[in-house]
Amino acid sequence: MKGIARVVWLLLWGGGLQNWLMVIGGCMTLGSLGALAAHWHPVPQTVLVFLGFMGVMLTVISPFFADAINFRSICGPRSIWLIPHGRLKLAAGAFLAQLLLAVFIGVAVGALLPAPAHATGAAVIHAMTQVLVMAFACLTLHFLCFYWVNQYRLGILVFLPYGLLLVLLPGFMRSPLGALLVSPNGLGAVATASVLAWVLFGVRLVTVRHIRVAERTDPVVGTFSAAATGAEVAGAIPRYSTQQAMTILLSGIANPRRASILTALASCGLFALIMLGILLGKPAAKSALMWGFVLCCFGSLIPVAMVDALSRRASFLWLKPGLDRAELFRLVERGSWRRLLVGNITAFLLAGPLVIYGTRFQHPGMILFAILAAPVAAGAALLYVWLLQVRGTVWGGTLTMITAGLLLLLQILFGSAAFVSGQADASQLLLPWLVGSEILLVPVLRHLAGRRWQRIDWLIHKPVRLNQP
Amino acid sequence: MGTAPGIRLFTLQPSSGVPIYLQLIQQVRRMVASGQLAAGAELPSVREVASEYTVNPTTISKAYSLLENEGLLQRNRGKPMTIAASRRTSGSLPQRLKQVEAQVDALVLAARQLQLTAPELCQFIDRKMGEDS
Amino acid sequence: MTEALVSTRTLSKAIGSKSILRDITVDVSPGSVVGIIGKNGAGKTTLMDILLGFSPATAGTAQLFGHDSFTLPAAIKDRIGFVPQRDELVNNLTGRQHLALTAALQKRWNHALIERLQAAWEVPLDRVVFKLSGGERQKLSILLALGHEPALLLLDEPVASLDPISRREFLREMIAIAGDQSRTVLFSTHIISDLERVADVIWILRNGTIVWAGPLDTLKENVVRLSIHSRQPLPRILPLPTALTQQVTAERASAVVTQWNEPEAQRLRLELNADIEVEPLSLEDIFVEFHS
């Protein structure tokens, strides 16, 4: 039992960015549900529901992508073979983890779905069950496919076409086949099929001789750099400038320029797919802008998440001549800003079409301000919040990050509300105040982070190591 | 008489309980006392010994310095260390007896445990030494 | 007296409530080769981390080249070389690229030395790091630390993954460095036979404290096993103030002491009216005795 619980814990509360996303997503979902239940509408109801959905997505997105990969790494070691029923416990843990996620999705989405006027409790429960079963089936399908595909190094690329599939899901649900699936018989069949799939998976896991774990070096880009740089320099003596050398050692990426280009291209691909989905749904001008705004906010969030890895790896540069702690702080800071700005500019360029589509909305200046300045300010504040987390106090760190997350959430909330309502009311004025306060906070946070870096303890703030042979 | 390269003059055991410098000193003393190393014989340099036996040169250097203080070795500027000529290479009686002191201690201890008396032991030793010659 | 290169005074380190190092006071004089031995978890890696300034001490001081370790000035870092226990290599670069990277960050780089060592140690330089075996990665890490010919070299279990021939080659290089009085080496290892060859000072770390810090020769001369045969029953506790272990049965006893010399021997012979056989111990035996 304890083993199974441990596996569930590992898969769901994995650490780092995943925990952060789950906490923020959870707060958003619970906040929206609470507000709806209490009939307290500081913003229009549609916005609350939208935020609730965003919350669910945030909570589930990281386990969704990471679980199958992590599961394969957990199963890989041959020592698991020697633990009595080791693999069985692992399979049971994975099953439970996906089930828990499905329950969360089912309950949250079921409660958020707009209910008809005379909605009874039973009808709500029915809706929840429908979503639960379908979500569980989807999660099962995804987990098993992703798990299988991840024994190959390029397996991680499979999630790109996934995005398209997910976007087409609502359309599918409205089709006749979809209606059949959500009928009680259909649900039963789907549920049985899912459980059966897990049973088969469990049997396979327990009986297979050796579980292959793909060597994970840099994400995806590793495969390209290795081939390219290997061919270039066989026999030739490579030359690096001091700046290049420091960047490579700090980021741990063999070819940083190539890595940024590839990441930018991949993000473009992902954003394009999401926007395709949105536009296929023919949104109103205002919600298009809202989506654009939200996308831009994520343009800051993801790059900023790298800051932690950078500050940990800075320990590898500590003994290099000419670098003291203040210098290392500036180095990490510069690297993080570069990522933040690249992320934001990419997001801004991608959200461009949405903005153009929505300029029928008045206040174009306000739009540009919101889409460009707000995410950068939020990103900058978060950057220094991350840089503060170097002394390893678990509660203090978690508290700081939750507060930062909540502030970001408020920003998204009010920004979105501004776009949806389109009126110069309180919510529209709050966004500039929020952004202004973030801009003022940045120098303060920077000073604090710099001070904390004078006492950074790399015994506690250790670099995270990927699979090493 | 120089040492040919590759021929190991000493037997050094780093894992022994006896420190390396002491092993070296004891072996040099023994070889000098037995005449194996004549006066003027060249000893390999510190560096040569250290690299041949893969041991720290400091310990070899220490051994050589102590032997020099004892008067057994002589430092020659720019040339390898040599056995000093000032002493009789075969060694005085107390010197030679000192070489076998460890073995005699062990013999005395064993004899005490077996309750052999000194005359009995000496008779036995006489007989043994007579057998050889 | 030359100033100590590395020195600590009552150094202690605790993480949370767990105490890792306690009250460590040692000095390293220039030109020595210090071997640090200790069980797993004794604190060897933490000690090195604190000496190098990765982590602040909870109490006491640690100094390198006369400067406080935690605030080590950037200017003197080119005199230090460090080989960590877990390598810090970038997976997608070749060995040659790593050497170029490190050379780019150092002011001085001895290309000839690296070439010679790379050939002698058979380190493949044109294969990507994640395709190298553990031993080859370790050899590469050592090469990276030797290139700028640091005055102070610290190695944390540098030979754990190396086969005996590679270890012997590595020792040869350490001996060549040891011959140079201006260079100092500190290394921690489990392979005690290597230390007996190359170290001149030994630190024994047990549970976060240093139970012995001094020359290897003195250690071997002082820590010995005594076999005592008496003509009368022996007291239950022998009058040995520095004994690590002792076993007494009627008229025979065996003990391991940490301070042994002629006056001590005489005193004991008279007091116990016994014969005492002295057995010198190898470093490995000494280490085991310190932990029994």
Domain contains C280: yes
Q: Do C90 and A253 touch (CB under 8 A)?
A: yes
Task: Tell which of C166, C198, C215 closes a domain.
Answer: C215
Average confidence score pLDDT of chain A: 76
Residues of C in contact with A213 (CB under 8 A): none
Q: Kindly state whether residues C105 and C231 are assigned to the same domain.
A: no
Considering only residues B7 and A201, tell me which one the structure prediction assigns the higher pLDDT. A201
- Asked whether residue C66 is domain-assigned, the answer is yes
Mutate one of C54, C91, C153 to test the A interface: name it (highest A CB count within 10 A).
C91
The least confident of A361-365, C200-204, C233-237 is: A361-365
Within this chain, do residues C204 and C229 fall inside the same structural domain, yes or no? Answer: no
Secondary structure of chain A as H, E, C letters: CHHHHHHHHHHHCCCCHHHHHHHHHHHHHHHHHHHHHCCCCCCCHHHHHHHHHHHHHHHHHHHHHHHHHHHHHHHCCCHHHHCCCHHHHHHHHHHHHHHHHHHHHHHHHHHHCCCCCCCCHHHHHHHHHHHHHHHHHHHHHHHHHHHHHCCCHHHHHHHHHHHHHHHHHHHHHHCHHHHHHHCHHHHHHHHHHHHHHHHHHHHHHHHCCCCCCCCCCCCCHHHHHHHHHHHHHCCCCCCCCHHHHHHHHHHCCCCHHHHHHHHHHHHHHHHHHHHHHHHHCCCCHHHHHHHHHHHHHHHHHHHHHHHHHHHHHHHHHCCCCCCCHHHHHHHHHHHHHHHHHHHHHHHHHHHHHHHHHCCCCCCHHHHHHHHHHHHHHHHHHHHHHHHHCCCCCHHHHHHHHHHHHHHHHHHHHHHHHHHHHCCCCHHHHHHHHHHHHHHHHHHHHHHHHHHHHCCCCCCCCCCCCCCCC
Percent with pLDDT over 70 in chain C: 99
CATH number of the domain within which C138 lies: 3.40.50.300
- C17 and C42 in a single domain? The answer is yes
pLDDT of residue A226: 37
Residues C139 and C249 in one domain: no
- φ/ψ of residue A279, rounded to 5: -70, -30
Nearest in space to A404 (alpha carbons), one of A367, A449, A341: A449
- Which chain B residue has its CA at the smallest distance from C275's CA? B109
Residues 173-212 of C with CB under 8 A from A: none
Q: Give the pLDDT confidence score for residue A119 in this predicted structure.
A: 62
> C175 and B62: CB-CB below 8 Å?
no
Q: Which one has a higher pLDDT value, C158 or A161?
A: C158
Same domain, C208 and C75: yes
User: Which residues in C lie closer than 8 A to residue A323 (C-beta atoms)?
Assistant: 74, 77
Q: Please, which pLDDT band fits residue A3 given cuts at 50, 70 and 90? A: confident
Report the sign of the C-alpha dihedral through residues C223, C224, C230, C234, in that order. positive
Tell me how close the Cα of C216 comes to any Cα of chain B, in angstroms: 8
CB proximity under 8 Å: A 252-271 to C: 252-255
* CB nearest to A460's CB, from C15, C73, C77: C15
Residue C168 lies in a domain: yes
pLDDT, tens only, C212-233: 999 999 999 999 999 988 888 8
Q: What is the pLDDT of residue C68?
A: 93
The DSSP line for C221-254 is HHSEEEEEEESSPPPSS-S-TTEEEEEEETTEEE
Cα–Cα distance measured from residue A389 to residue A123, given in angstroms and rounded to the nearest whole number: 46
Q: C24 lies in a domain?
A: yes
pLDDT top residue among C182 and A79: C182
Residues in chain B with CB shorter than 8 Å from the CB of C197 are 14, 53-56
Instruction: Grade residue A231 by pLDDT with cuts at 50, 70 and 90.
Output: very low
Residues of C with CB under 8 A from a CB of B: 31-33, 168, 171-172, 175-176, 178-179, 193, 196-200, 216-217, 220-221, 224, 229, 275, 277, 279-285
B109 in contact with C at a CB cutoff of 8 Å?
yes
Instruction: Give the residue with greater pLDDT, C260 vs A414.
Output: C260
* Domain parsing of chain B, residue ranges: 20-83, 100-132
C179–B47: do the CB atoms touch at under 8 Å?
A: yes
Q: Cα distance from C152 to chain A (closest Cα, Å)?
A: 12
Looking at per-residue confidence, does A107 or A39 come out higher? A107
pLDDT reading at B15 higher than 60: yes
Average pLDDT, integer, range B70-89: 77
Answer yes or no: do C157 and C197 share one domain.
yes
In this structure, are C64 and C174 located in the same domain? yes
Q: Are residues C167 and C60 in the same domain?
A: yes
Q: What is the CATH code for B20-83?
A: 1.10.10.10
To probe the interface with C, which of A250, A319, A391, A393 has the most C CB atoms within 10 Å? A319
Instruction: State which residues form the domain around C229.
Output: 223-290
pLDDT at A68: 81
CA distance C136 to chain A (A): 12
Query: What pTM, to 2 d.p., does this model score?
Result: 0.75
Domain tally for chain C?
2
Contact B58 C200 (CB under 8 A): yes
Q: Do B17 and C217 lie within an 8 Å CB cutoff?
A: no
What is the pLDDT, as a whole number, of residue C19? Answer: 92
Residue C80 is predicted with a pLDDT of 94
- Assess whether pLDDT exceeds 50 at residue A227: no
pLDDT over 50 (residue B12): yes
pLDDT of residue C203: 96
**pLDDT, position C292:** 84
pLDDT at residue A262 greater than cutoff 90: no
Distance CA A223, CA A168 (A): 31
The confidence score (pLDDT) of residue A407 equals: 73
Q: Tell me the average pLDDT across A173-178.
A: 69
Round to whole Å and give the CA distance between A77 and A211. Answer: 8
Residue C1 covered by a domain: no
Q: Which pLDDT tens digit goes with each residue over C40-68?
A: 888 899 999 999 999 999 999 999 999 99
Q: Which of A225, A239, A327 sits opposite C92 (nearest CB)?
A: A225
Judge whether C163 lies within some domain. yes
C128 in contact with A, Cβ within 8 Å = yes
**pLDDT confidence band for C81 (50 / 70 / 90):** very high
The pLDDT value recorded for residue A215 is 55
Interface of A with C in 202-241 (CB under 8 A): 215, 217-218, 222, 225-226, 229-230, 233-235, 237-241
Distance CA C260, CA C238 (A): 15
Contact B15 C196 (CB under 8 A): yes
What is the average pLDDT value for chain C, to the nearest integer?
90
pLDDT at position B115 over 50 = yes
The region, left, alpha or beta by phi > 0 then psi within -120 to 50, assigned to residue C256 is beta
**Same domain assignment for residues C149 and C46:** yes
Contact A321 C126 (CB under 8 A): no
pLDDT surpasses 70 at A213: no
ipTM score of complex? 0.84
Q: What pLDDT digit, counting tens, does each position of A300-319 carry?
A: 777 777 788 888 889 999 99
Phi and psi angles of residue A394, each rounded to the nearest 5 degrees, phi first: -60, -50
pLDDT higher than threshold 50 for residue A208: yes
CA-based nearest distance C16→chain A, Å: 10
Q: Is the pLDDT of residue A344 over 60?
A: yes
pLDDT band at A229 (very low <50, low <70, confident <90, very high): very low
Subunits touching B (CB < 8 Å, at least 3 pairs)? C
The answer to whether the CB atoms of A459 and C101 lie below 8 A apart is no
Confidence at residue A206, expressed as pLDDT on a 0 to 100 scale: 83
Binned at pLDDT 50, 70 and 90, residue B82 comes out as: confident
Residue C265 lies in a domain: yes
Residues C203 and C227 in one domain: no
Mean pLDDT of C18-28: 93
Distance from CA of A446 to the nearest CA of C (A): 21
Q: How confident is the model at residue A230 (pLDDT cuts 50, 70, 90)?
A: very low
